Amino acid sequence: MKRTRARIEAVDPVMRRRRRTLAVTALAALALTACGSEQPDSQRERVKSTSAVSARKDAAFHRMLDEVARECPPPGTKREVPPAPPGGKPTAPVEAPPGATVEPPPGGAVEPIAPTAGPEAELDARDWCAGVQHEQRVAEALLRLKRPDPAQVGKALNGLGYIDERIHGLKRSGAATKFVIDLRDKGGRLCLDGTANGELTEVEACVAPADGPFHIANLPRRL
């Protein structure tokens, strides 16, 4: 009996260590299972949060487009082309030579004249009207930049409400920074083509494909 009791006493500590090891292993497995079940939930929450932020930015962008074009004709309105003189073709507006001073008409400012030829003539009345407004607001913001590099230009465009998803080709080209903004909205084809280079900053309306992805290479007009 003494030998048997001694054998049991010798085995018992080993069994206790095994039980503790099994218990720790079981707890670790439960912890891993819990983490595994929570990870997809956290990922889904992050995706939802990112989607919500993107949706808010997109909604704000479209509100800005509506605000800029608030005094423009409804979408799809065709532009009126000046009538052709008897026996002739429509005449394009005569532009003042470089450096000339344009005197405003009595009682009002100079009204921009819509082009009758070229890619811009493909824009409807709303796009053409909105394009003039976008050109002015973007050019004024970029002319205030002391260093119009891609970072500063992108920041200025964001400050005006143009979101990164709609800004394309923002890069340095020589001493200038180039970019194109996709302004297609409500079936329109408007885009904005810009070059920021201090006093030589130029911003012009361009024409994008009516639908499909926006690619700079597909634009009919580039600076």
Q: What pLDDT, in 10s, does the model give residues 137-175?
A: 999 999 999 889 999 999 999 999 999 999 999 999 999
pLDDT mean across residues, the chain: 76
For residues 163 and 40, is the Cβ–Cβ distance under 8 A?
A: no
Supply the pLDDT for residue 57.
Answer: 93
Supply the pLDDT for residue 82.
Answer: 55
Q: List the Cα angle 194/96/80 in 5-degree steps.
A: 75
- 31 vs 22, which has greater pLDDT? 31
Type of residue at 118: G
For residues 193 and 176, give the distance between their C-alpha atoms in angstroms, rounded to a whole number. Answer: 13
Confidence of residue 212 (pLDDT cuts 50, 70, 90): confident
Type of residue at 160: L
For residues 69 and 86, give the distance between their C-alpha atoms in angstroms, rounded to a whole number. Answer: 35
For residues 182 and 163, give the distance between their C-alpha atoms in angstroms, rounded to a whole number. Answer: 10
Supply the pLDDT for residue 39.
Answer: 59
pLDDT at 21 over 70: no
Supply the pLDDT for residue 196.
Answer: 96
For residues 201 and 179, is the Cβ–Cβ distance under 8 A?
A: no
- 103 vs 214, which has greater pLDDT? 214
pTM attached to this predicted model: 0.65
For the segment 195-209, the average pLDDT, to the nearest whole number, is 92
Strands 190-196, 202-207: parallel, antiparallel or unpaired by DSSP? antiparallel
Place of tokens 């800005």: 64
What are the DSSP E strand ranges found in the chain? 167-173, 176-182, 190-196, 202-207
For residues 137 and 141, give the distance between their C-alpha atoms in angstroms, rounded to a whole number. Answer: 6
